[in-house]
Structure 1
Amino acid sequence: MNKKKICPHCQANMREQWIKLHLEKKIPITEIAELSGYHQDTLYIWKAKYLKHGREGLIPQSRAPHSHPNEYTNGVKSKIKLLRKQGRGICADIIKIRLKKRYDVKASRSGVAGFLKKEGLVNPKLSRRIKNKKKRVKKCKIHEPGQLIQFDVKYAFKSFADAWFYQYSSIDYLTGIAYGAIYEIQSNLEGILFTNSLLNFYPFEIKGIQTDNHATFTNRYVGYLKSSNPLNPRLHPFDLNCQKLGIEHYLIDKGKPAQNGKVERFHRTCEQDFYQREIFKDLNSARKKFRDFLYYYNNNREHLGLDGLTPLEKLKTITGFEKVKSLNP
């Protein structure tokens, strides 16, 4: 007999017909077994279920186990839910790290991810399969904090007048310590003011800043080539400020934002974990909440790129910075 897959209710109807032949027509189970192709024991089981539960007892049930010997306890499950709720949608890897760090609970990444998916705590837009990226040789070797600070600007949020506010951001290449500020406009002045504020935030000397080729950072592609004296061109105000502060200004290649990848990734985190989750009354409230977010990001949020450490913990692993207690924006 062809036993191709059919819907559960259709299977129940078919089983009921075979059992009725035995109960109503008084046909022996042995003959029904020969006609149907099912084993006698199977037919006897169907008969018992039909007599006890009726047709509902003949509907096929899932054979998957209802529990697993290594299933998380209710206490661990509640901790995973709590970490997910408090952690601004953190991923399974970070939850695994925090379970070990805060509760001394050992869990696997796949186990946490499976539980989040089962409980409907995964954003379907983000739970896509990420293709393996090609391996890249690290050409830039940074050994000291402050040796290279990646610097960029992003659209923050719109005002009630439908005008954009701008977030200036920086992140240390080695420690992952991030800093940012929200401004009303994007211009040369804001870039200079933000650069000066970095000196008061970072607990180490800043030796180099890397930016893209936006007009607020450089006139290399719009001014240098058109200068009347290309060997001695008029420098951009951002370059002049960097020279005044003793900071080397590096530029990434045109059309290659991945070279500023750390600050671009920080912008994605800001968008997902801050701007899409907060409501602002005005610019001042946004600035206050953003400072709180920066404190959480640098002091409490673990980063997979730092082997599960927070930026503060990463900084403490470097000689000379063991006594730094917190990073306050």
Structure 2
Amino acid sequence: MSHANAALTPRQRLHIAQLIVDDGWAIAHAADYFHVAWPTAQKWARRYIELGETGMADRSSRPLTHPNQTARPLVRRIIHLRTTRRLGPVEICALTGVPSSTVHAVLVRECLNRLSHIDRRTGEPARRYEHAYPGSLIHVDVKKLGNIPDGGGWRTVGRVQGGRNRAATPGKDRSRSRDVLMRHAYVHTVIDDHSRVAYAEIHDDERAVTAIGVLQRAVSWFKDRSVRVERVLSDNGSAYRSHAWRTACNDMGITPKRTRPYRPQTNGKIERFHRTLADGWAYSRHYSSERVRRKALPAWLHYYNQHRPHSAIGKLPPATRLSSNLPGHYT
């Protein structure tokens, strides 16, 4: 790797090689002129003859072969024990006779050093994916939350006081608990696969007509930010399996896709966003009523998109990945 004070940067290497090959300088003369050893001057001249200017670039110092590297059959056994039995380096060491440090190095090299990298159902390494540009794919889902009674819910004031607040909330039907205020809040969420920019609305149901309205407004919201939505990925909820959903997507020029049944990992980005949503907004502090909590959502979404560092995209806010999506790009 060259540095600021290197005797021969790629440009200087090209210069010395051209003097020797093109201008006919003697190797010893060129080496003396550039204050390097003559084998060095000969090396760059030879690479210039074989590869031209591209041969002047730095090369990796990594050896071509590794005689002491763990044998491949043993590596396969380590991987098998890790994926099928979810054993740690020390336990694998006891079964294979390989030092635990070597086992750990193998697991790191194979991206299996964390159990979270292994699918619990299949035992296979988790497959990560990310679409190349904003709008290529958006994820949609619904997060179901219990409404907060006036005075606060049981999470912050305790179950006894929470029950009293629930009973005292205006509009409460004392004979039936299924009144409007005490039902659930359905947070319809949309997240861009590439940038992780999120959009959300709160409604009182998760019907297809509601989900379609959220999608239409989300597509318009992304369009205002120079992002054209091409595909939408959802789970197999009734709203997303409806003919109305498919027709609405086709009318907007969007390809609808659904996850495999009982495989929420496929839609993992929005599932993880729901956890962030719950920790950062829904249950982050004491809310005196459901209206107060709903009113706080836009401010939290602005913080999430514009200011909160996201570990999956280099600890940068999601909105930074939209900055390069200038008008006319990806549209």
TM-score with structure 2 length normalisation?
A: 0.49
Q: Which has the larger radius of gyration?
A: 1
Higher RCO, 1 vs 2 (CA within 8 Å, ≥6 residues apart): 2
